[in-house]
Amino acid sequence: MIAPVLLIGLILRLVSLDQSLWLDEGINATFARSLSYSKLIFSYPLGDFHPPLYHVILKSFISLFGSSEISLRIPSVILGVMTVFITYLIGKKLYDKKTGVIAALLIATGPLHIYYSQEARMYMLAAFLASLSVYFFVSLLIKDRLLLWVGFILSTALMLYSDYLPYILLPVYVLFLIVSRKKFAKNTLKSFIPAFLLILLLIVPWLLMLPQQLKVGLSASAASPAWSGVVGSSSIKDLGLAFVKFAIGRISNDNNLSYALLFLPIGLYFSFLFLISTLRLTRIRSFLWFYLLLPPVVAFLISFFVPVFSYFRMLFILPAFYILLAAGINNINWSLPTRTFLSLALIINLTSTFIYFANPKFQREDWKNATKYVTANSDSKTLVLFESNFSMPPFDYYNNGAVEARGALESFDPTQGNVVQNITSYTQNKNKVFLFQYLSPITDPQGFAFQSLIDLHFINTKTDNFQGVGFVYEFVK
């Protein structure tokens, strides 16, 4: 039954795949197209704060299939469907085939997993490799085989080259082995020591780059505390929000009370299934709880020092989330209740997914239409300004050089004098300016760019608003 489940997962991940790129996708596309492999590996990650594996894969895919929105996102679609299959294998290995199929069906229709299976970022690569590493890990605890050791070492090393948050899986493995040392074969437990050493040896070349990345990242965080709050948080609210997002995806409500009341029955239902899943708990199955709970807690604690905690960086623990829900559903053992509980879980998943597909508010930043609007109303004397020190990559992606675009600021901490000087220079011989508000509360909270245009006798004649992008101000002189 896994084949139709994989087909469902694929179809859902292809819906609305050509929606607009957002900022981080635009950055990835721009640099993957323009930089050499060596620069993508050794230079670009210093400012991106991720390991380089995904960027290398993306560049290779672009060279074969081009850089349309669909081409850029197909690798994540494929990796997302493969993660569905690995979730099935883990569920089957730890429980039975039926639990594996239910877990695969839940993650195949899972709204958060679908969303990030459609994003040209490294998170689905990390999630796939983490799930593959977990599969080999639990398989080794059941039966010691050479090929399983090879799979564990290679998948874990590749995972460490994909993203940093999955590094937390290593101490999770170690802690579980220590706690469970009396339940598994001593020879197998001892074999994990050289396996971890081999993984470390394979990752050493990148670990030599990590101090430079940390230095650049912490400097940027110190220069712009507001930006630090965007990329990661150490708020207890965000820790709880991670599990809300696991359940209902990206949909939200501006009214916190309404949002809480919406999620409450879903949260109680899923909590009930988690509780039921403990009825068939064994030592090896208990690893799923280590896998689900420890990474977000450790990431949350790390965020007090380095801003890394965000729910979407926790995608690699979603297989544990859905396998435990599947175990709860399958533990009931009566046909009608099992089907009822599964149907309720699928209704929650598919309703959240439908809302995401149907409502642009929950989709990505609409740079496609914002750029189309600007280019349709521009000529050779038009300038596009951004409240940053560079033009925005998703705008550049869609603009393709049609209209001149620049960043109005000189740094994350702009001064009014420098902003005035920059805009004065850029607007010579220009009679129309489009100013994008995007990120201005972080990069230009004093509104220096807007005021500078007013002081230069430009008049704000029109303002348009685009989903996720914000206001686009049209100035004429």
pTM higher than 0.85? yes
Residues recorded for the chain:
477
What residue spans define the domains of the chain?
2-362, 367-476
Burial class, 332, CB count within 10 angstroms (exposed 0-12 / middle 13-18 / buried 19+): middle
3-state secondary structure of 30: helix
In angstroms, rounded to a whole number, what is the distance separating the alpha carbons of residues 319 and 133?
12
Token pair listed for 270: 């899923």
Ordered alpha helix ranges (H), 283-317: 287-302
Query: How would you class 456 by CB atoms within 10 Å of its CB: exposed for 0-12, middle for 13-18, buried for 19 or more?
Result: middle
Q: Cα(99)–Cα(97) distance, rounded to whole angstroms?
A: 6
Output the CA–CA distances (angstroms, integers) from residue 365 to 115, 309, 313, 360, 456, in the order listed: 13, 22, 19, 9, 30
Rounded to whole angstroms, the Cα distance separating 100 from 93 reads 8
- Second-level CATH architecture of 367-476: 3-Layer(aba) Sandwich (3.40)
Give the DSSP letter string of 174-194: HHHHHHTTTTS-HHHHHHHHH
**What is the chain's pLDDT, residue by residue, as a tens digit (477 residues)?**
899 999 999 999 999 999 999 999 999 999 999 999 999 998 888 777 889 999 999 999 999 999 999 999 999 999 999 999 999 999 999 999 999 999 999 999 999 999 999 999 999 999 999 999 999 999 999 999 999 999 999 999 999 999 999 999 999 999 999 999 888 888 888 999 999 999 999 999 888 888 887 776 666 555 555 555 555 566 787 888 889 999 999 888 777 777 777 889 999 999 999 999 999 899 999 999 999 999 999 999 988 887 788 899 999 999 999 999 999 999 887 788 889 999 999 999 999 999 999 999 999 999 999 999 999 999 999 999 999 888 999 999 999 999 999 999 877 777 888 899 999 999 998 999 999 999 888 888 889 999 999 999 999 999 999 999 999 999 998
Q: Please give the Cα distance from 160 to 130 (Å, whole number).
A: 9
**Quick one: how far is CA 345 from the chain centroid?**
23
Residue 407 per-residue DSSP state: E
Amino acid at 410: E
Tokens of 223: 């220069």
Kindly tell me the burial class for residue 98, based on how many C-beta atoms sit within 10 Å of its own C-beta (0-12, 13-18, 19 or more): middle
